[in-house]
Each structure stands twice: as structure tokens, then as C-alpha cells.
Amino acid sequence: MMIKRRMLGPVLLSAGLLACGVNPVTKQHEFQFVSQDKEIQLGQQNYSPARQSQGGDYTLDAELTRYVQQVGQKLAAVSDRPDLPYEFVVLNDSVPNAWAMPGGKIAFNRGLLYELHSEAELAAVLGHEIVHAAARHGAKSMERGVFLQGAMLAVGLATRDSNYANMVVGGAQLGGQLISSKYGRDAESEADHYGMKYMKLAGYDPAAAVTLQETFVRLSAGNRQDFMSGLFASHPPSQERVDLNKQTLQALGAGGEMGKEVYAQQVARLMSTREAYKAYDEGKAALQKGDADKARNLANKALSIEPREARFQELLGDIALSKKNTTEALAFYDKAIQMQPGYFKPYVQSGIALFNEGKKAQAEPFLKKANALLPTAPGYALLGQIAEGRGETALALQHYQLAASSDSEIGKEAAGRAMRIDLPRNPARYLPAGPLADNTGMVYAAVQNSSSVPVGRVQVRMLQYDSHGRLVNQTRSMLITGGIAPGKRGSVATGFRIQDQAALQFFRVVVEGAELAN
């Protein structure tokens, strides 16, 4: 016993050393269970699907994206973790927001660029997000178990289109949690403080971080819905943050580049098409309310201002599909794909349109391509039906189970389809069973239907053990007939009798087979 104790000490000590580290930004000691390699891996794996789920990349102004990347890399170079593989991208989303993933993967929404007035303000936001990555704020949330509790349902993750809200499935769901997490007050204060420090080191005037935060406080007081659902949801502004930023400014000293003119030049093209995206957003809202004519007029208005935007063609496709004009819808989706082949939605919409027309073989490659870009419940649910129709039940089951991981009606329907395939193969997984006795001592084999589908006949066997756990008796296979509805119980008499209820502990019921109800 003494030997075991002596060996246990060094093992625990080693585990403690592996879990302890120094924060690269604050220089404070902290527990670190997510290594830098794991941080980088998480960012690399989730960056692309997270961007897909937030409207996709904004591709019409490559110079603007390069500009944001240049400002971001300038700040990253003076950060406390310049060795991270930083990436910066502009997303095609009107909601004012920006986010960072572990490993330095950062996104900046088109909608937030509208609201800034200088390169220094852009640097203030980017610096803040760089600190979130550099100071391991996302990794620390994972270490606290924020993202590791139960199934990942991507709550709040949406494509800015209610048709795909909460429909992301598989490993891509983690990306939604990584970008929608609300950081604590300490993390936000650290991001403000060190972000201003990075601004100063990179040659920007940190006073822009103060004025920008003051602007955010005013906007929050006005309850601007786009900000409330975007930036303010994960980065809530407050007068306290303004005051802390003023203290940081006093310590750092004002002065540096503001870059108002250069910023105005870089966003000029984006600003010139702002009305197009406003019309597009209003068109999506109109379609969701069932006003297809208004939606079409707004989509055409958007196209008249910016004819190269794939999202506008996609909206026209959605409008045509809502009218069951499949051929017209597919033509619009094809235009959207030609304009931006790397965005998932026109592929999955094309797959849905073709599937509904009975053209399942044609739908399949579109659905597969969509899932490769962003795995969703509709994509996998329809692929499951296609596979099942070909008799490929094992593949269909895999597809249905993936679709079922989403918190959506399609996910629930897919779960039911999965059960219909899997329950006859693995009945004990869905039909927990055990012994029951009535007041005369007659022992019954009871089966509970914990699935969501009705069950027909169930085949069971009763086993009896002695006090040493040895099998001493068993019945033949018996049938519970009459069907068992979801949430209900069925039973069959076994022929065994007991003197008291305590004897039930020596009986076990084995479910050997089950049929689905007709």
C-alpha cells in the first residue's frame, strides 16, 4: 500500500504541472488544459464553417479585405502572441459584429464597417479581438466547461435566414458556440486594455478606442436592434468600460495615427452599395412574412445597385421556390453559385428544389457539396432519404443521426427516421426492460417504449439468477403483442412467482427483438 502512495504523488504532481501555465498576455498563472496546438487546431477546423454560417465571405471588394487584413496583421505583429497563425476576413453580414476564435482566427462583419469612421477605430475593434485570441479567452471558456456540457446544439447560430437557424450539425456546431459566447467582464476589460496597448505599439491613437466605446454606449441606449443582436450580445458596452478605457489612455498617452481619410477611401465602394444590402435585408424579412411580391421588388432594387452580388440572386431563388417555381428558382441559384461558388446556401436550396421535384439523383451532388461547406440538418436529412430509397440503410442511418443533432423540426423528424431504421436492429437501445410483479406474486417482463415511434410486437426473455449471480433459470422467447405507443409500457406474464418484491432483484429481462407498428 505504501508503494502505491509513493507512486501516486509524482503522477498527480506531473498532471498539475501540465495543467498550469502563464497567460501570454496578462502574465498571470492559470490552469491551462487546452494547449496552443489544440487552440490552433480548433480555430483551423471551425473558422470556415463559422464563416459560412454567418453569411459567407464578402468577396466583391478584395481590396477592402486586404486592407482589413493589413491592419489586423499590423496589430498582431505587436501582440503578445505574434506567432499565432492570425487570419482576418470580412463577412457578408449586415449585422454589426466581429468575433475571434482560438488560434487567431478573426472575422469582421460588413455591417460593422459601416459604423466606423477611421482606421484607428478599425484597429480598436481588431485589437480587441486579437486580445481575445492571444489571451486564450475562448480556450479558457472551454477549460471551464462552457462548450463541453452535453450536446452542442448551436443555439443562436444562424445564417441570418430563419430557414437555417439552429440547423448546423456535426463538428461545425462547436464553431457556433466559439463565436457566440459572451465573455465575462474580466475578459472584456483585458481585451479593451491590451487592445489599446497594441494600438499604441502599432502607431495608432488609442483615443479612438475611447470614442468608439462611447459611441457604442450611445447606440446601446438607443436599443438599435442590429447592434443588440450582434456586437452588443457578446461584447456589451457600458460606461464602466468607457471609464476604464480613459484610464488606459491616460497611462498610454494619446497620439498616433487616426487614418480618417484612408479609411474613407477604403470603404468608399462598400458605402456606395449600402442601400443595396439594406434592400436585400428588407427583402429577406418580407419573404419571411410571406410577402413575395415586396421581396422580389426589393431584391431587384438591390441588384440594380450591385448586380454582382450572389446573395441577391439567391434571394430571388428563394422567392421563386416559395411560389413553387422550381425551374426559375434553380436558374437563380445557379447564378448565385457561378458568382460565388464557395457559399453553401444556393447548393442546399438547389438540392431541396430538385428533391421536391422527385429528381433525387440530381439533388444528391448539390446536397453533398452544401454539406462539405456547412453541414446542415436539411442536407443530411434529404441525403438520408435518398440513401434509404436506394436500400442503403446503414448510410441512411448515419445521415439521419447527423441531422438529428440539430435543434430543429427537421432534426426531430430525422431522429424519428433514424429510430425506425435502428430500433429493429438494436431494440434494447430504445426499449428499456425489467421485471415487475403483481399483488399475487406473478412476475411479468415489462418493456417501456422510450422512442418516438410506435412499436408492434416485442420479443423478450426472462432470466433468473441466484444470490451469487449465477444463471439458474430462463424462459423461452415470449412476445408482447398489441403494440406499445411512445412513452407507454407493455408486459407479458413469465410464469414465475415470488413471495416478496425483494426477489425481483434476481430477475433480468432481455429484449431480443422488436417490430415497428404498421
State the pLDDT at residue 138: 73
| 280 and 380 within one domain | yes
pLDDT for residue 15 is more than 60: no
| 299 and 186 within one domain | no
State the pLDDT at residue 240: 85
CA distance 207 to 489: 69
Residue 499: CA count within 13 A, CB half-sphere: 0
| 356 and 215 within one domain | no
| 84 and 225 within one domain | yes
| 97 and 65 within one domain | yes
Tell me which residue of 402, 390, 446, 393 sits closest to 420, measured CA to CA.
393
CA distance 486 to 451: 6
Looking at 386, 404, 422, which one is the last position of a domain?
422
| 218 and 366 within one domain | no
Q: What secondary structure does DSSP assign to 247-270, as a single string?
A: HHHHHH-S-SB--HHHHHHHTHHH
Please state the three-class secondary structure of 185-251 as a single string: HHHHHHHHHHHHHHHHHCCECCHHHHHHHHHHHHHHHCCCHHHHHCHHHHCCCCHHHHHHHHHHHHH
| 413 and 389 within one domain | yes
Say which CATH number the domain at 459 has: 2.60.40
Within-domain flag for 155: no
More confident: 4 or 387: 387
The mean per-residue pLDDT over the stretch 279-295 comes to 97
Tracing cell 405507443 back to the chain, one arrives at 485
In this predicted model, what pLDDT tens digit does every residue of 333-347 receive, in sequence order? 999 999 999 999 999
In this predicted model, what pLDDT tens digit does every residue of 119-136 receive, in sequence order? 999 999 999 999 999 888
Looking at 220, 236, 268, which one is the last position of a domain?
268
Please state, as a whole number, how many other Cβ atoms lie within 10 Å of the Cβ of residue 227.
22
| 235 and 140 within one domain | yes
What is the reported pTM? 0.84
Within-domain flag for 202: yes
**Domain assignment of residue 435, given as a range:** 428-516
Dihedral sign of CA atoms 245, 251, 253, 259 in order: negative
State the pLDDT at residue 159: 35
Confidence of residue 327 (pLDDT cuts 50, 70, 90): very high
| 344 and 300 within one domain | yes
pLDDT for residue 145 is more than 80: no
Residue 288: CA count within 13 A, CB half-sphere: 12
The mean per-residue pLDDT over the stretch 186-210 comes to 93
Within-domain flag for 8: no
Within-domain flag for 12: no
In this predicted model, what pLDDT tens digit does every residue of 391-433 receive, in sequence order? 999 999 999 999 999 888 999 999 999 999 999 999 999 999 9
Within-domain flag for 9: no
Say which CATH number the domain at 346 has: 1.25.40.10
State the pLDDT at residue 162: 43
The mean per-residue pLDDT over the stretch 161-190 comes to 69
More confident: 165 or 21: 21
- Looking at the structure of the chain, the number of domains it has is 3
Q: What integer best gives the mean pLDDT of the chain?
A: 87
Within-domain flag for 112: yes
For residue 356 the three cell numbers come to 421536391
State the pLDDT at residue 343: 97
| 474 and 444 within one domain | yes
More confident: 258 or 171: 258
State the pLDDT at residue 117: 95
Confidence of residue 305 (pLDDT cuts 50, 70, 90): very high
Within-domain flag for 358: yes
| 396 and 256 within one domain | no
Segment (H or E) for 435: strand 433-437
Cβ neighbors of 89 (< 8 A, separation 6 or more) are 51, 57, 65, 68, 69, 106, 107, 108
| 315 and 459 within one domain | no
For residue 461 the three cell numbers come to 426473455
CA distance 179 to 46: 10
In this predicted model, what pLDDT tens digit does every residue of 432-461 receive, in sequence order? 999 999 999 999 999 999 999 999 999 999
Within-domain flag for 159: no
In the chain, pLDDT over 70 holds for what percent of residues?
85
More confident: 124 or 518: 124
State the pLDDT at residue 27: 84
State the pLDDT at residue 7: 37
In the chain, pLDDT over 90 holds for what percent of residues?
71
Report CA 497 to chain centroid distance, whole Å: 54
Looking at 268, 296, 329, which one is the last position of a domain?
268
Catalytic center residues: 129
Query: Between helices 36-53 and 173-180, what is the axis angle to 10°?
Result: 100
pLDDT for residue 492 is more than 80: yes
Look up residue 60 and give its DSSP letter.
S
The CA-atom distances, in angstroms, between 472 and each of 274, 463, 467, 475 are 80, 8, 10, 11
CA distance 378 to 169: 10
The mean per-residue pLDDT over the stretch 287-303 comes to 97
pLDDT for residue 28 is more than 80: yes
